Amino acid sequence: MFEKDRAWIELNKDNFIHNINVLESGLPQGCRMMPCVKANAFGHGAVPISKMLHEHGTRDYCVACLSEAVELREAGIEGQILILGYTDPADLSALYEYDLSQTVVDCAYGKVLNAFGKPLRVHVAIDTGMRRIGERSEHVDEIAGLWSLDNLNIDSIYTHLSSADETEGEGREFTLKQIEAYDRLVNELHSRGITDFRTHVLASSGIANYSEHGYDYIRPGALIYGIEGKPSDDSPKRLGLRHVLELKAKVSTVRKLYPGDCVSYSRTFKADHEMLCASVGFGYADGMPRELSNRWNALVNGKVCPMIGTICMDFLMLDVSEVPDVHPGTEVVLIGKSGNETIRACDMAFAAGVNTNAVLSQLSHRLGRIVV
């Protein structure tokens, strides 16, 4: 309702659809996109992102948990929505009511799902080395046994790669071993006459680095948003993908600082000359890492402005001494482009010592999401 109030996210629709087209044009015959819109679409906004996908024609989605899946259904998203995580047995009726697909996190959980008593569409997770979820790929008998459970409507078996961002050395060896273990299981099942299932393995780094391995769905997260996992990650650029998100806020008030004035909690910044300070309506509750206090910048009218003082829950302060004509309402770019300057999400995350997803997924629900 107040989309462009004190701070907001702009989603570039052309860039987003461009990314989807690029990824779809690289798909092997018969392979479908199952974009990953978990964690509020990596902070971008699950509803607006999924609506753009839906309008584009996408009919397969994956999310982390039941509440995310229900949010999409209630926003009118049709097609398959796969929950990649665990759903509490007490909530299984919601899977049925909302026609959601559930991950079988191990064979014991498969029996729990079966005991619900009504047919559920499922994807069986296979552990090939990540050691997070999935039945171990060596347990062929147990996995094959899932097909004898009457209430499981098995769409797929899938696995997840732990190291596909590495293209050489041990990481490459490990990745190829995971893929081998997965392929071996698929062949085993086929040789037992179990063939009515689809396959999926690749998420973003797998698509970027191991795309010669096909399968029936891909599950790209980061790549659909064009985001680099870290500043040295060149895969989005190499694939011709574009950033979708810009993060903006407004100046609330501007004041002069005199020598000796201290800014914000605990007086971590002290002015040693006269300067101009803008308070911006964006804080750590909006997703700005507090660790960046006195260590990072924002863009105002094409100029790089240092953040000064401790970042607060709802405010941060900028040194705008070098920027002409800053006033309440002036736009501040926290991620994105202003004039000739750009701040990428990965740069901000790297400065805070975390990965890009860790910053983007923390962007608050109180920010408006505007499709431009």
Write down the least CB distance from residue 90 to ligand PLP, Å: 23
Given 48, 110, 134, 220, the residue binding ligand PLP (CB under 6 A): 220
Given 107, 203, 275, 298, the residue binding ligand PLP (CB under 6 A): 203
38 is catalytic: yes
Q: Which stretch binds ligand PLP (CB under 6 A): 135-143, 198-206, 277-285, 340-348?
A: 198-206
Of 135, 127, 68, the closest CA to residue 100 belongs to: 68
For residue 35, the tally of other CB atoms under 10 A from its CB is 23
For residue 155, the tally of other CB atoms under 10 A from its CB is 20
Between 220 and 281, CB nearer to ligand PLP: 220
Of 93, 92, 154, 148, the closest CA to residue 122 belongs to: 154
For residues 132 and 160, what is the distance between their CA atoms, to the nearest angstrom? 9
Q: For residue 256, with 0-12 CB atoms within 10 Å meaning exposed, 13-18 middle and 19 or more buried, which class applies? A: exposed
Between 219 and 303, CB nearer to ligand PLP: 219
Q: Which stretch binds ligand PLP (CB under 6 A): 203-211, 236-244, 302-310, 330-338?
A: 203-211
4 is catalytic: no
Between 49 and 203, CB nearer to ligand PLP: 203
Task: Report which DSSP code applies to 215.
Answer: -
Between 106 and 319, CB nearer to ligand PLP: 106
Given 44, 123, 219, 248, the residue binding ligand PLP (CB under 6 A): 219
Q: Does 186 bind ligand PLP (CB under 6 A)?
A: no
DSSP string covering 20-52: HHHHHHTPPTT-EE--B-HHHHHTT-HHHHHHH
Q: Does 236 bind ligand PLP (CB under 6 A)?
A: no
Q: Does 360 bind ligand PLP (CB under 6 A)?
A: no
For residues 339 and 21, what is the distance between their CA atoms, to the nearest angstrom? 28
Write down the least CB distance from residue 103 to ligand PLP, Å: 8
Binding mask 296-335 for ligand PLP (x = CB under 6 A): ----------------------------------------
Given 49, 52, 84, 348, the residue binding ligand PLP (CB under 6 A): 84
Write down the least CB distance from residue 34 to ligand PLP, Å: 8
Alpha helices (H) in the chain, listed in sequence order? 13-25, 38-42, 46-56, 66-74, 92-97, 107-115, 140-145, 169-191, 204-209, 235-238, 345-352, 356-360
Write down the least CB distance from residue 76 to ligand PLP, Å: 23
Binding mask 33-72 for ligand PLP (x = CB under 6 A): ---x-x----------------------------------
CB of 181 closer than 8 Å to CB of 128: yes
Given 6, 123, 160, 303, the residue binding ligand PLP (CB under 6 A): 160
For residues 6 and 331, what is the distance between their CA atoms, to the nearest angstrom? 9
**Which one from 177, 256, 265, 270 is the annotated catalytic residue?**
265
Residue nearest to ligand PLP (CB): 221
For residues 345 and 336, what is the distance between their CA atoms, to the nearest angstrom? 8
CB of 77 closer than 8 Å to CB of 54: yes
Given 43, 134, 221, 236, the residue binding ligand PLP (CB under 6 A): 221
> Could you write out the three-class secondary structure of 104-154?
ECCHHHHHHHHHCCCCEEEEEEEECCCCCCCEECCCHHHHHHHHHCCCEEE
Site for ligand PLP, rule CB under 6 A? 36, 38, 84, 160, 203-205, 219-223
Looking at the annotation, which residues are catalytic?
A: 38, 265
